[in-house]
Amino acid sequence: MTDELLTHAHGNVGHISLNRPKAIHALTLDMCLAMSDALQGWAGDDAVEAVVLDHAEGRGFCAGGDINLLRHSALNDGGKSGREFFYREYQLNHQLFSYDKPVVAFMDGITMGGGVGIALPCKYRVVTENTRFAMPETGIGLFPDVGGGWHLSRLGGRLGQFLALTGARLDGAECHFAGIATHYLPSEKLAEAKARIIEHPSRIGGILSELSVTPPEPRVEANCERINRHFASDSYEDILASLEADDSDWAAKELATLRTKSPQTCKVALRQMTESEKLDDFADNMAMEYRIASRVLTRPDFAEGVRAVIVDKTNDPQWNPATAEGVSGDLLDQIFALLPADEEWKPL
C-alpha cells in the first residue's frame, strides 16, 4: 500500500481516498496498484456492499496521471515504465467498469484525464458546483485515453468529439446535462451523503436523489447546435474548414484553440472515437487505447508538448507533423496497429 492512497472500510462500505494533494491527486503506478488491490479484496468480501471513491483533501478529485513520470519514460527508457503505468491504469479502469458492487465517485473539484478514467466507470458519479471536468490530452501530444474513447463517443451529438479535440472544461451543471454525472449535489452536502451511504449502502440511489438539487443552467447547452454542426465530420481537416468558414466569435475561439493542439493526436482522437463507438466490450476499447498509448508515448509530440505546456510553460510546442495534412493515414494505421501477441493489453 502507499500513503498516497487511503483505503479502509466503514462497516459495509469500502472507502478509497486519493491522498496526493500537492499534485491534485495525480495517479502514480503505486496508487493504481493499491486501488486495484483494495477493490479486489472487497470484491470477495460479502460484508462490503458498496465502495466510495473520493479525495482526502485539496482542490480537486484527480488532475490526471503522473505526466512527469510518463515524460521521463519517453525520454529515458524508451517508454518502458510509461507502458507499464498505462497497462496497470487501464486494468484499474476496466476493473471499476466491470465491478459487481456499486461504486460512488465524488467528482468534487478538478477531474481531468486519469481522474475521468476512474470516475466515469462508476455506477454513481456525483458532481458539485466546484467540479471542473476535462480531457485536455491533445494539448500535450497525448489523446483522451483511460476509456475516454468509450465514454466520450457515447455522449449526445458531437459533444464527445468537441471535448476530445479542444480539451474544453465543463462545470458540474454541464456534466450533469451531458450525462457524465448521475447526480448534482452542493459541496456542503457531500459529508452528509457519505455518512448516509455508510449507514445505508443499499439506498445509495435514493440518498443521492434526496440530497440532489437542480443544477444551474448548463452553458454548453446553448452551443450544442454549433458543436454538432462544426464537429460533425470524422475528418479533422473538415472540422477546421467548417470553423474557418464561420465568422462568429465562437468559431474563431474554437479554431484558435485547435491551432494550439497536436495535429497528430487530434487525428488519433477522432479515429479513436469512431472506432470506440463501434465496440460493445469495454475491454476491447482498453486494448485499442493501450496500442495507441504505446506508440504515442514515444512519438515526438508527447515529450515536446509536456515540455512546452507543463515543464517550461512557454506554450510554444513545435508539433511534428506540424499540420493536419501532414498526419498521414499510414501514420495513423501504425499507431492503431495490433501489438505483438505477448505485448497486448489484457484485463485483470
Residue 222 has pLDDT above 80, yes or no: yes
β-pairing verdict for 5-10 and 13-18: antiparallel
Answer whether 145's CB lies under 8 Å from 117's CB.
Answer: yes
User: pLDDT tens-digit profile of 76-130?
Assistant: 999 999 999 999 999 999 999 999 999 999 999 999 999 999 999 999 999 999 9
Residue among 14, 60, 64, 65 flagged as catalytic: 65
Residue 59: predicted pLDDT: 83
Cα 60 from Cα 153, distance rounded (Å): 25
User: pLDDT tens-digit profile of 8-20?
Assistant: 999 999 999 999 9
Query: Would you say the C-alpha torsion 311, 317, 318, 320 has a positive or negative sign?
Result: positive
Say which CATH class 5-343 falls into. alpha beta
| 65 is a catalytic site residue | yes
| 114 is a catalytic site residue | yes
Residue among 54, 89, 145, 289 flagged as catalytic: 145
Residue 1 has pLDDT above 60, yes or no: no
Whole-model pTM: value is 0.97
User: pLDDT tens-digit profile of 122-169?
Assistant: 999 999 999 999 999 999 999 999 999 999 999 999 999 999 999 999
User: pLDDT tens-digit profile of 255-304?
Assistant: 999 999 999 999 999 999 999 999 999 999 999 999 999 999 999 999 99
DSSP three-state, residue 233: coil
Residue among 108, 137, 171, 289 flagged as catalytic: 137
Query: Which grid coordinates belong to 181?
Result: 454525472
